[in-house]
Amino acid sequence: MNAPSMRTASLAILRRDLVLAWRRRSDIAMPVLYSLIVTMLFPFALGPEDTLLQRIAGGVILVTVLLAMLLALDAMFASDIEDGSLEQLMLAPQPLALMLAMKILAHWLTTALPLIVITPLLAAMLHLPAAIIPVLLLALLLVTPLISLFGAVLVALTAGTRRSGMLLALMLLPLCVPALIFAAGAVAAAQQGLPWLAPISWLAAVLVLALVLAPLACAAALRIALDS
C-alpha cells in the first residue's frame, strides 16, 4: 500500500484538528471570554480616564492576548498524547515537522484568530483611536503566530511531564519579550504619529525565520520528550 502524499496527509491533519476543535466549541470561546474580562478589569483598576486608557491600550491588549494564548497552549498536544494519536503521527511516513506545522496552524486558527477578531472590541473598550487599530491588528497578526510557534516547541518539550502549566509560562514568557517589545513599539509609534513600519518588518522577519525553524525544533523536542 502506498503512503498518501504529503499534501493529502497535511490536509487530513488540518481537517481533523479543526473538526475536533469545532466539536468542542466552548473551548474556543474560553480565551475570548478571558481576554474580554481581563481587559474589562483595567478601567476598574486604573479609573476610567480616557487619556490614561488610551496610552496603555496597545500594551494591555498585547499582554492580554499573550496570556490568553498561554492558557490555551497547554492543550495543544494533550489529548493527542492521551489517546496515542501523537505516537501514530511520529511513526507515520510523512515528515513529522510538516504534520506538526499543520497542527500548529490549526491551533492558531482556533485560538489566535478569534482573539484577533475581537481585538477591535477590546480596543474600543480602552478608547484606542480607530486610526491605530489597523496597526494593532497587523502587529497581532504577526505576533500571535510567533507565540503559537514558540509555544509549540516548549509544549512539545514538556509533553512528557505531568505538571506543565506554570513551567510553560516560566519558559515561554521570557522568549516572547522581544516580540512583545517590537509589537508594542509599533503601536506606540503609530499613536505618536511616527513611522511604525520598522518594528513591523522586524516582526515579519522573525516570523519567517520561526515558520521554517520552529516546526523542525518542535519535531526534535517531541522526539526527545516522548522517547523513553
Partner 1 sequence: MANWIPLWLHRLSSPPTFYRFAGTLRPWAMGLAIALGVIGLYGGLVLAPADYQQGDAYRIIFIHVPSAWMSMFIYAVMGVSAFIALVWRIKLAEVVAMESAPIGAAFTFITLVTGSLWGKPMWGTWWTWDARLTSELVLLFLYLGVLGLYHAFEDRRQGARAAAFLAIIGIINVPIVHFSVNWWNTLHQGSTVNVFGHSKMAWDMLWPLLTMTLATKFYYAASLFRRAQTDLLDLESGKDWVRTIARSEDER
Residues that bind partner 1 (CB under 8 A): 153-154, 157-158, 160-164, 167, 170-171, 173-175, 177, 217, 220-221, 224-225, 227-228
Q: How far is the CB of 168 from partner 1 (least distance, A)?
A: 10
Q: How far is the CB of 150 from partner 1 (least distance, A)?
A: 9
Q: How far, in Å, CA of 222 to CA of 86, rounded?
A: 9
Give the residue ranges of DSSP H helices in the chain.
6-23, 25-46, 50-73, 78-82, 85-91, 96-107, 113-125, 133-157, 165-191, 197-226
Largest interatomic CA distance in the chain: 67
Q: Which is nearer to partner 1, 134 or 178 (CB)?
A: 178
Closer of 8 and 201 to partner 1 (Cβ) = 201
- Per the CB < 8 A criterion, the answer to whether 147 and 179 are in contact is yes
CB 116 within 8 A of CB 31: no
Triad 55, 194, 69: Cα angle to 5°: 50
Nearer of residues 115 and 179 to partner 1, judged by Cβ: 179
Distances (CA, A) of 202 to 74, 111, 141, 143, 214: 28, 24, 13, 11, 17
Q: How far is the CB of 35 from partner 1 (least distance, A)?
A: 24
Smallest gap, in angstroms, from Cβ of residue 157 to partner 1?
5
Separation CA 157–CA 124 (nearest Å): 38
Task: Supply the minimum distance, in Å, between the C-beta of residue 158 and partner 1.
Answer: 7
- Which residue's CB is nearer to partner 1, number 21 or number 175? 175
Q: Which is nearer to partner 1, 144 or 158 (CB)?
A: 158
User: Distance between CA 121 and CA 191 in Å, rounded?
Assistant: 18
Q: What length does the chain have?
A: 228
Q: Tell me how far, at minimum, the Cβ of 16 lies from partner 1, in Å.
A: 27
> Which is closer to partner 1, CB of 91 or CB of 177?
177
